Chains A and B, each alone.
Chain A
Amino acid sequence: MKARSIAASALATSIFLAASVTSSFATSLPHAKRVTMGSSPLVITTDYGSPGLTENFNPYSSTHLVGANYMYEPLFMVNSLNGKQTPWLATGYKWVNTKKLVFTLRSGVKWSNGTPFTAKDVAFTFNLMHKFPALDSNALWSVLQSVVAHGDQVIFNFKTVNVPDWYYIATTHIVNAAQFEKVPNPVTFTDPNPVVTGPFVVGSFTPQEYKLTVNPLYWQRDKVHIPAIESIALTTNTITDEMISQGKVDSSSQFVPNQNSTFIARDPQHYFSWQPLGTPWTLFMNLKQWPFNQLKFREAMAYAINRTRIVKQGEYDYMAPSHQAVLPPAMQAGVTNPSLNNIYNYHYDPTKAAILLKQMGLKKNAQGQLLGKNGQQLSLTLQTPAGWTDIIQDCEFIAQDLGKLGINVHVETPSVSTTFSNLQTGQFQMADVGVGGAQPWFIYHAALDSQVSAPIGKIAPSNFERWINPKTDQLLAQYASTTNPKIQKADMVSLQKIMLTELPLVPLDFGVWWNQYTTLHYTGWPTAQNPYAAPSNFAWPDYLLVLTHLQPVK
């Protein structure tokens, strides 16, 4: 494969020399037209080709092609929107106690090379991550003791109790032991011919596109009505937007500016976009500094920012203003207490914000500037990475909102790595970044746990604002060490209350699962009425559900 693409580019040079003779020749080659038939391949766009795709289907590689997600499968399917579980390679699981987890595997599943899928493959997968820590991106072996195969079961023994990590175990890509045993370094392995349990296998690969063809041995073969997937490399945003608007792809997951007019309006019968809410974007404040260590100041921030304007004018109205409880709405169902959210409703109210600042003892001068401790105007910096254009725009709006209160805010846009390095070491005042997590506990853990924080100058993995609170830690730990849903629910509500009353962070808006699709060739996409999966084609493990739901248009 590699040799072929180098040959292809070497070819380009000689072709251009030939072109000098025929530079005036007419451009009469027709565009490759797609046949609108039930058997047409599913055309998607999801991987960036910069400048071309590089072949890498190794599911452990941080740079693997999204196609690996359509071939390798997890033990359990977990809906990224609402956490709903569907048995997949495993038919069930059981916590024997909080330190012992047992998965029972599905029988009759075959690898694409015809060999049977067994518990040995699963145990091998996890032990490989132990052997090569660079593969263990979720740090599972910081809590695991051992993983062993036992008949059609796999037993996970924990050295540290961590019930939420079930999610990472359940959604790990399971690889074929016989294949990976022979790989000397699985970290740099590019896996050109994956042996998989999933619905597709690699068909062909070029730097502009790769094709996956249906796996005839797939255990749910009857549910797959797509003969092949063609994944076209993403290039520039403009060109991608143009391709999407011409209906050249069936599914894409892009931030398309003004997509109602540039995409959907071009064929409202067939072009759609359902973008459910996801990652909360939040205002991080450095709690080790005045005035952010003052609760009243944080409350003032929560009232001072016009979230509706951020969403409407900064985010093309795709997103939604977020609630102080920080969790996306779909995740809150059955987890938090909705009436609390109504009591602590931090809506846009600059007058109230001004009153809170006044109560803090902050004075204004004749020019209406809010004065800091030194008698000068209170002047703050707000960071977000360069290139995140919509977020930079949001930050400008925040700066304007705070400007109305007499606070001078300077928006800084260092590079992505500098921004995150600043956040990790606490070298910032305010920042607008996302706080991710696949499930509610992960979000609260990432945002609030002192375990993932650090003193200023030391690297904090995610609790950048440095919220150090024993009560919070105890609640998070208690949730993680029990399988009792009642205790877990009570813990979540207590954590929700901390968010609502202490405001360690000020959430701004919910990001969305980017999504555009057409019904020209396939129907059965996830929608608001039937949210069976997160709709983005890079969503792991959700998109396997989509691929087993789609029906060709007759």
Chain B
Amino acid sequence: MTQSAVEIHAYSRAEKRHTWSEMWGMIFKTLWRNKKSRVGLIILGIFILVAITGPLLAPYSIADTNFATSAAPSARHWLGTTQAGQDVLSQLIVGTGDSVITAFGVGFIATLLAIILGISSGYAAGWLDDILSFITNVFLVLPGLPLLIVLASYAPGKGIGLIILIVGFTSWPWGARVLRSQVATLRSRDFILAAKLAGDSAPRILVREVLPNMLSLVIASFLSSSLYGLLTAVGLEFLGLGDPNAVSWGSMLYWAQNAGALMNGQWAWILAPGLCIACFGMSLVFINFGFDELSNPRLRGDYE
């Protein structure tokens, strides 16, 4: 459903031609000026920082199993301990890394596929467009989670990389559809026609002229796919289809649930990973508010 925010971009009309550097600058400025996306950027920044420095920040090693088992939150263990005697807070901090990687990994794969399929489809027109659009629409209609469950339950391994690949390869169609319609409108713009007349090759036009002019759309689609990717991966891990040995927010929920954490009064063990997922996701949605306004000036108005 978050995609509906992205779809709006399709209606936007970027009349002017922009180069890469202009676009990056403009995007950041607009995002920072918008209150919500500024909050989003700050929260996201914190998560990325924790993801990178996780093992250093964690009070204990996640391999350390010498604590009391299934303990409630205390001064020594702010979020309690697991059934195997690990520190929950340390897991939460270290698990940020895998979770952020999962989110952005899915976002990257999905956006890359969306760019390749969406842009070639929109730029090419004709029979290639027909075929690519058909494929996009088919994948759009196939229900994501059930398909993923079928794939994941047959898959030989259970690693995080596999989850990223499977989720990434099934979550590109929304982005592709949005990008396709944007390219279709850009195709007839003067600066593109000028480049064509100057004899530039299609790939060169796409990279130099088309992509920078839809950069905000690409990033917005990346953020939406990342959010979708994280939520889907967490769902799969919760169902036990992820790697139970990896430490991530999703696998923490899986173990907490299996150890009957709520029944045993260890609410923090269930609450904390869920809140982290929600806050991380919220930061992405907030940033996308800024993108909405960037591409659709009518939404603007709250930063005077």
Contact = CB atoms under 8 A, between A and B. Distances in A.
A–B contact, 8 Å CB criterion (strictly below)? yes
Interface of A: 237-238, 241-242, 245, 256-258, 261-262, 309, 312-314, 316, 386-387, 389, 392-393, 396-397, 400, 411, 413-415, 418
Interface stretch (B3-11, B34-42, B179-187, B258-266): B258-266
Given A237-B260, A258-B264, A262-B264, 13 more contacts: A237-B258, A238-B260, A238-B262, A257-B260, A258-B260, A261-B264, A262-B260, A313-B65, A389-B258, A396-B245, A397-B84, A400-B63, A413-B243
28 contacts: A237-B260, A238-B257, A238-B260, A238-B263, A241-B263, A242-B263, A256-B260, A258-B260, A258-B264, A262-B260, A262-B264, A309-B65, A312-B69, A313-B65, A313-B84, A386-B158, A386-B244, A387-B240, A389-B240, A389-B244, A389-B255, A392-B245, A393-B83, A393-B84, A413-B158, A414-B156, A414-B158, A418-B156
Nearest to A411: B245
Contacts of A261: 264-265
> Considering residues A237, A258, A418, which has the most beta carbons from chain B within 10 angstroms of its beta carbon?
A258
A386 B69 CA distance: 23
Q: Which 4 A-B pairs give the minimum distances between C-beta atoms?
A: A257-B260, A262-B263, A389-B258, A258-B264
A348 to B, nearest CB: 15
Interface residues of B, number: 24
Given A257-B83, A257-B260, A392 B244 contact: yes
A313 B85 contact: yes
B70 interface: yes
Nearest to B260: A257
Interface of B: 63, 65, 69-70, 83-85, 153, 156, 158, 240-241, 243-245, 255, 257-260, 262-265
A257 B82 CA distance: 12
Contact of A314 (B84, B153, B245): B84
A311 to B, nearest CB: 12
Contacts of B260: 237-238, 241, 256-258, 262
A245 B63 contact: no
A256 B264 CA distance: 11
Contacts of A314: 84
Contacts of B158: 386, 413-414
B153 A415 contact: yes
Contacts of B65: 309, 313, 397, 400
A245 B258 contact: no
B263 A245 contact: yes
Contacts of A415: 153
A312 to B, nearest CB: 7
Contacts of B262: 238
A400 B245 CA distance: 13
A413 B156 CA distance: 9
A241 B244 CA distance: 22
Contact of B70 (A258, A387, A389, A414): A258
A257 B244 CA distance: 18
A393 B258 CA distance: 12
B245 A257 contact: no
Contacts of A418: 156
Contacts of A400: 63, 65
A396 to B, nearest CB: 7
A242 B153 CA distance: 28
A73 to B, nearest CB: 36
A319 to B, nearest CB: 14
A387 B258 CA distance: 10
Nearest to A387: B240
Nearest to B86: A313
Contacts of B255: 389
Given A396-B245, A400-B63, A414-B156, A257 B264 contact: yes
A261 B261 CA distance: 12
Contacts of A258: 70, 83, 259-260, 263-264
Contacts of B240: 386-387, 389
A132 B263 CA distance: 47
A316 B240 CA distance: 20
A413 B244 contact: yes
Nearest to B264: A258
Contact of A257 (B63, B243, B259, B265): B259
A11 B238 CA distance: 32
Nearest to B63: A400
Nearest to A315: B83
A415 to B, nearest CB: 7
Contacts of B257: 238
Nearest to B245: A411
A313 B69 contact: yes
